[in-house]
Amino acid sequence: MKILFLTDNFPPETNAPALRTFEHARVWVEDGHRVTVVTGTPNFPTGRVHEGYRNTLYSVGEMEGIRVVRVWTYVTPNAGLFRRSFDYLSFMLSSLPAALIQERPDVVVGTSPQLLTVVSAWAAARLKRVPFVFELRDLWPESMIAVGAASEGRATRGIAALADFLYKRADCVISVTESFIEVLKQRGIPDDKLAVVRNGVNLSEFTPGPRDNGLREEAGIHADDFLTTYVGTLGMAHGLTSVIATAEITRDEPIHYLLVGEGAERVELEREVERLNLANVTFLGAQPREQIPRILNASDAVLVHLRDDPLFSTVIPSKIFEAMAVAKPIVLAVEGESADIVTNAKAGVVVRAESPAELAETIRGLLSEPELARELGLRGRAAAEGEFCRRAAARKMLGVLSRVVGRGGTTARRPVH
């Protein structure tokens, strides 16, 4: 099968969409399929082009058997709605012609979170007359409203209409959560067009390792402190000011907080730490992907945190599965499907989002009960080795794509006028 995949992010970027696409495509190539990925110049999350790359109009390379086509985009930090929107628009405009000059695939896949990537995928599939698959990672415009990037109005109604247009014209919508499926059903999307392929983790990359691996010494963190680590985007959706408030509550206790990553909120978070004169918070900045398992292994617990908004009960942060794989207990400040996963696996403790006092009490509990923390971590690893293995998820998604190709798809059958 020949798969053409459009994604705004791809390695060396290390956010969730980039890694999911890469790891799935790598498995598909191993299984004998031909995969072409159309993506942009790597610049996330800093808005600066990664070393070794140039923001050129068009270039072709290869990564572990995957044909990687990179196109020009407007490169900007992830801050400011106008600049982000222009970035999204530029990728749509440059990715479509790049997709059209590739050999005719059997299926075109477009992945969110940003919808304009999926618009380009739909147009490419339509013009090539092959099936179109929408991989749904976020609900739009709900996610924009939830993080305060937009308010309800004419613009968000237009985005909602665009999302519905894409849902209805997709031959299949592959969601990363069950919760999104329920939303789509309410919007009138039929069951036979819907599938769920949850995120997972690469078990060969994330394995349990020694706690005393030198990371603490390098970062200036006391060897005996209970290290609670957050790895990911320091953005509007994550409510990390509450974590700083938790650090203030526990400032005189042997608990340290490590925030690893970049994002629109990092400067404000650092200012708040400085204002409060907190010595128990460390920022590490964005790290190479190969460093993340080492960072997690040096930790005593892994924090997964989102803002207190009903929308986030429908999402499943992929960092949950990475924590499971390295056998670390999860402190989850997210409700809904994520909480169900952690609770059912007995892999961590669920707290209310943006509740500093409750978060502090939970971390104190894990500090005082090391055997409980150890058991939670081991159960998480067992779950990662089961249904949350990335290789298994990749093959599940491949099966969905094969079924879509087998039945031809409405996009392929619809004439072009």
Q: What does the H/E/C string look like for 127-178?
A: HHCCCEEEEECCCCCHHHHHCCCCCCCHHHHHHHHHHHHHHHHCCEEEECCH
**Secondary-structure percent of the chain, ordered helix, strand, coil, rounded to 5:** 45, 15, 40
Residue 264 sits at the vertex; the CA angle it makes with 263 and 265, to the nearest 5 degrees, is: 95
Each residue's pLDDT tens digit, 166-200: 999 999 999 999 989 998 999 899 999 999 999 99
Asked, for residue 294, whether it belongs to a domain, the answer is yes
Query: For residue 152, is pLDDT > 90?
Result: no
Q: Do residues 331 and 359 lie in contact, with contact meaning Cβ atoms separated by under 8 Å? A: yes
For residues 138-164, average pLDDT: 69
**Are 179 and 164 found together in one domain?**
yes
Count of beta carbons in the 10 Å neighbourhood of residue 289? 15
Q: How far is CA 348 from CA 220, 233, 304, 306, 368, in A?
A: 27, 21, 10, 16, 15
Q: Is 205 part of a structural domain of the chain?
A: no
Place of tokens 């409510």: 239
Residue 49, helix vs strand vs coil: coil
Please name the residue that has the structure tokens 């070393």.
51
pLDDT score for 122: 98
Which residue, among 355, 366, 334, 147, has the nearest Cα to 245 in the 3D structure?
A: 355
CA distance 413 to 118: 19
CA-closest candidate to residue 19, choices 37, 34, 4, 1: 37
Q: Does residue 222 sit in the same domain as residue 287?
A: yes
- Closest to 328 (Cα-Cα) out of 282, 368, 287, 375: 375
Query: Residue 170: which region, alpha, beta or left (left: phi > 0; alpha: psi -120 to 50)?
Result: beta
- Same-domain status, 318 and 251: yes
DSSP code for 338: H
CA within 13 Å, CB half, 162 = 19
With respect to residue 208, please indicate whether it lies within any of the assigned structural domains. no
User: Do both 267 and 305 map to the same domain?
Assistant: yes
Range of the domain at 67: 2-200+389-413
Mean pLDDT of the chain: 92
Asked if 36 and 5 count as a contact pair (C-beta separation under 8 A), the reply is yes
Q: Do 255 and 335 belong together in one domain?
A: yes
In the DSSP assignment, the letter for residue 407 is: T
The mean per-residue pLDDT over the stretch 136-162 comes to 69
- Residue 336: count of CB within 10 angstroms of its CB: 18
Q: Is residue 209 part of a domain?
A: no
Q: Considering only CA atoms, which of 67, 63, 11 is closest in space to residue 34?
A: 67
The residue among 190, 183, 191 whose CA lies nearest residue 163 is 183
Asked if residue 236 and residue 122 are part of one domain, the reply reads no
Strand partners, 175: 136, 196
Residues 30-54: pLDDT tens digits? 999 999 999 999 998 788 999 999 9
Predicted pLDDT of residue 367: 98
Residue percentage of the chain with pLDDT more than 70 = 93
Give me the CATH number covering residue 188.
3.40.50.2000
Residue with tokens 């908004």: 309
Considering only CA atoms, give the Rg of the chain. Answer: 21
pLDDT digits (tens, 9 = 90+) for 287-333: 988 999 999 999 999 999 999 988 788 889 989 999 999 999 999 99
What beta strand segments (E) does 180-232 contain?
194-196, 226-231
- Please count the structural domains in the chain: 2
How confident is residue 397, by pLDDT bands cut at 50, 70 and 90? Answer: very high
Task: Examine residue 296 and state whether it is found in any structural domain, yes or no.
Answer: yes
C-alpha dihedral, 18 to 349 to 311 to 84, nearest 10°: -40
Determine the Cα–Cα distance for residues 50 and 216; give it in Å rounded to an integer. Answer: 27
Same domain, 159 and 280: no
Same domain (yes/no): 381, 394: no
Same domain, 9 and 122: yes
Judged by DSSP in three states, 317 sits in coil
**Is there a domain that residue 206 lies in?**
no
**What's the start-to-end Cα distance of the chain, in Å?**
27
306 and 226 both lie in a single domain: yes
What is the percentage of the chain residues whose pLDDT exceeds 90?
79
If asked whether residues 188 and 273 sit together in one domain, one would say no
Q: Give the pLDDT confidence score for residue 94 in this predicted structure.
A: 97
Q: Are residues 194 and 88 in the same domain?
A: yes
Summarised one tens digit per residue, pLDDT across range 51-71 is 999 999 999 999 999 999 999
Q: What is the pLDDT of residue 141?
A: 60
Q: CB-based contacts of 391: which residues, under 8 Å, 6+ apart?
A: 27, 200, 202, 203
Domain assignment present for residue 245? The answer is yes
- Measured in whole angstroms, the distance separating CA 184 from the mean position of its chain's CA atoms is 20
Q: Which two tokens stand for residue 382?
A: 């067992």
Amino acid code (one letter) for 7? T
pLDDT in the model for residue 416: 45
Say if 207 falls within a structural domain. Answer: no
What torsion do the CA atoms of 15, 29, 326, 211 make, to the nearest 10 degrees? -80
d(Cα 292, Cα 130) in Å, to the nearest integer? Answer: 38
Neighbours of 56 (CB within 10 A): 10
In 3D space, the residue among 107, 93, 113, 109 whose CA is nearest the CA of residue 40 turns out to be 93
By CB atoms closer than 10 A (0-12, 13-18, 19+), residue 208 is: middle
